[in-house]
Structure formats: structure tokens, C-alpha cells
Structure 1
Amino acid sequence: MNWVEAIGYLGTALTITSSAMTTMIPLRILSILASVAVITYGILTGSLPVVLTEAIQIPFNTWRLYQMVKLVRDVEKAADGDLSLDWLKPFGTSRRFRAGEVLFRMGDPASEMYYVESGRFRIEERGIDIAPGAIVGELGMLSPGNVRTASVVCAEDGVALCVPYSEVKQLYYQNPEFGFYFLKLTSERLFQGTGQGARGAVAIPEPEVA
């Protein structure tokens, strides 16, 4: 086996290894390295189709890698003190609510959380207002039976970003580090809402426990 064949085998090995990865960041890195090795092999052997195929995949994998790394950094930054949840926007859908409209009621199945972008919402059973910048319903993903334990209505016309739990779970499975920082963020916001957080100067409405 000569060195050209060795490069080809290396590319094959990296491709197989990346296919076996369960987390996205290592998978993307290995996929990029595999493409570089295969492109090198294709150039040395004069196989243009191989070169073109891998050259197309490199920008795609690089962009996905950038997105995931940026997501983890944004969540880490939020968990360390910047409680902005703007990084959630690509994973949800903004919905406009009118005053008096019900987001969900106690006992309803819980399948999504809400990030308040504008307006004012209210947890009826507790008389707690949810202002812009707060999240509500995120703990329903962890509650037994995934049901709501309180009702939330729109008190003042506004917009809320609806993020399905399936999106949050997918992000967690793709990158466990995201799950760790998201759990840390959620816990900190809960403690701040009850007045027990270490950063008590930041005014965050109490999130719903559902």
C-alpha cells in the first residue's frame, strides 16, 4: 500500500467514525477532516466526481459546526449571567396573542415553552405577571406526565416565541453540553424568580412551574 492509498483509507476511516458519532460537534469536525482527506485522495488519483462531492459537503458541515458552537457559547453566556434567550429564536415560532387569550390551562398536556418577546402574560392561579424577556412553561418538559400545573393568559397584547419541547430535546441529544447549560439556566431563573438567586439584582418574573 502506497501513501496515496493510505490517504484514501484514512478518509474512509474518518467517514465511518463520524457516522458512528452521537454528538454533533465531534461529528461535524470528523466529517470535515474526512472530506479533506477524500478530496486529497481524489486529486491525487484524478477522480473529479469524488472531489466535487466532498467539496460541496465541506461548506455545509462547516456552517453547521459554526451554528452549534455558537449555540453552546450563547447558552453558556446566558447561564453565566446574561439571561437573554434570544438564541432560542431560530428554534421556535413567534405568535401574537390578544388580551384575554389563553396560552394553556391547568391540566393541559405540556408540549412547548414560551419566551415572552412583548406584552404581558399572567399566571392566573398565582397572580404572577410574566414580562418580556421571561420564559414560561419550560419545566413542563421535566414534570411527571408532562401536564400544566397552572394557567397562563395574555394580560396585555403581545408576542411570545413558542419553542416545542421536541426542539429542546433534539438540541440536547445532539450536544449534551447544551443540555447542561440549559438546565443551569433554567434552575438559575427559577431561583431568581423566588428571590433566592445569587444575582438578585436582576429582575426576572417567576417562571411557571408546569
Structure 2
Amino acid sequence: MNWIEGIGYLGTALTISASAMSTMIPLRIISLCASLVVVTYGVLIGSMPVVLTECIQIPFNAYRLWEMIRLVRDTEKAASGDLSLEWLSSFGTRRRFGTGEIIFRKGQPAGEMYYVESGVFSIPEVGITLRRGGIVGELGLLSPGNKRTASLVCLEAGRALCVSYSEVKQLYYQNPEFGFYFLKLTSERLFQTAKAGEPLTAGDAL
């Protein structure tokens, strides 16, 4: 085996290592390293298809790595403060809701949480009203079967940021501080439910 083949085998080993990783930041870093090694190998053997394939992947992996580092950086800042999720404003998907619109009903599958940016929203089953800065839906991530146990209704037209549970899970696993922060947030919701007179059970989630 000559040194050129050695570079090729190194690229293969790095690619396999990246595929076996479960955390996103190390995965992206190793993937970038693998792509650079494979590009070098492709140039040395004169294989442009190999070079082209890896050159296409490098920008995608670099962008995802930057995105994940930015998420971790912002959650570290947030975790040291209070229970505000104002920092989430640069993530997720914004949606507008009209007066009287039902965002979700009790019993429906839960796949995202909401950060209220404007308008007024209500959780009728527990009598909680949410305005700007309010959080709802985060406990659905923890409920059995990811089912909603209460409804969410828009009382006054407004806008909310929708953050998928897949994004929340990424933040949770990448940053232990965010895990603790999320625990504080969900605990606050449970206490709100208790104050509203609703009995707390293992499945109490929005």
C-alpha cells in the first residue's frame, strides 16, 4: 500500500467514524475532515467525480456545524438567566394566527412548542392566558405518546414562533446546561397547572 492509498483509507475511516457518531457537532467536524481528506485523495488519483461529490458536501456540513455552534452558544447565554426564551427568536418557524383559531386540540399529536411573540392565546382547560414571551407546548415532548392534554386557542390575532421537538432535542443533548434550563421551564408549567386547580398526572403536558 502506497501513501496515496493510505490517504484514501484514512478518508474512508473518517467517513465511517462520522456515521457512527450520535452527537451533531463532533459528527459535522469529522465529516468535514473526511471530505477534505477524500478531496485530497481524489485530486491525487485524478478522479473529478470524487472531488466534486465532496466539494458539494463541504458547504452543507460547514453550515450545519456553524448553525449548531450558534444554537449552543445562545442556549448557554439563556441558561444562565431567567426563564425567558427571547433568545429563540432567531430560530424555528414563525406563524400567524387569527382570532378564534384553534392551534391544537386536546388529544392531538404534539410535535412542537410555541413562543408567543404577539397576540393573546388561551389554554381553556386550565384557564391560562399567554401573551408576548409566553411558552406553551413544551411538555408535549415529555408526555406519553407525545399527545396534547389541553388545547390552545388564539384570543387575539398574533404571531408565535414554532420550534420543533427535533430542534429542542438537539439542544438538549448538545448542551447539559440547556437540559437543566428546559427542566426549569417544564417545572414552571407544572406549577402553573397546579395553581389552576388541575390535578397533576404523569401525562399532564401541553
TM class by smaller structure:
0.7 to 0.9
1:92 — aligned with what? 93
Which string of whole-angstrom CA distances, capped at 9 and with x for unpartnered residues, describes residues 123-164 of structure 1? 334433211122112102212343434343222221123344
SS at match of 2:65: helix
1:176 — aligned with what? 173
| Kept in 1: contact 2:8–2:37 (CA 8 A) | yes
CA displacement at 1:26 relative to structure 2:
1.6
1:30 — aligned with what? 30
| Kept in 1: contact 2:96–2:157 (CA 8 A) | no
Which string of whole-angstrom CA distances, capped at 9 and with x for unpartnered residues, describes residues 170-193 of structure 1? x36xx7225x45442333234556
1:146 — aligned with what? 146
1:200 — aligned with what? none
**Counterpart residue type for residue 20 of structure 1:** A
CA gap 1:109/1:64 in 2 versus in 1, 3 angstroms? closer
CA displacement at 1:91 relative to structure 2:
3.4
CA RMSD of aligned residues (A): 2.9
SS at match of 1:18: helix
Separation (CA, whole Å) in 1 of partners of 2:104 and 2:56? 45
1:80 — aligned with what? 80
Alignment: residue pair count: 193
| Kept in 1: contact 2:113–2:137 (CA 8 A) | yes
SS at match of 2:97: strand
Separation (CA, whole Å) in 2 of partners of 1:41 and 1:78? 43
CA displacement at 1:19 relative to structure 2:
2.0
Q: Do residues 103 (structure 1) and 103 (structure 2) align?
A: yes
**Counterpart residue type for residue 153 of structure 2:** V
SS at match of 1:12: helix
SS at match of 1:103: strand
TM-score (norm 1): 0.75
**Counterpart residue type for residue 92 of structure 2:** F
Q: Do residues 185 (structure 1) and 186 (structure 2) align?
A: no
Percentage of identical aligned residues: 57
Which string of whole-angstrom CA distances, capped at 9 and with x for unpartnered residues, describes residues 50-69 of structure 1? 22222222122111111111
Separation (CA, whole Å) in 2 of partners of 1:38 and 1:111? 38
CA gap 1:127/1:11 in 2 versus in 1, 3 angstroms? same
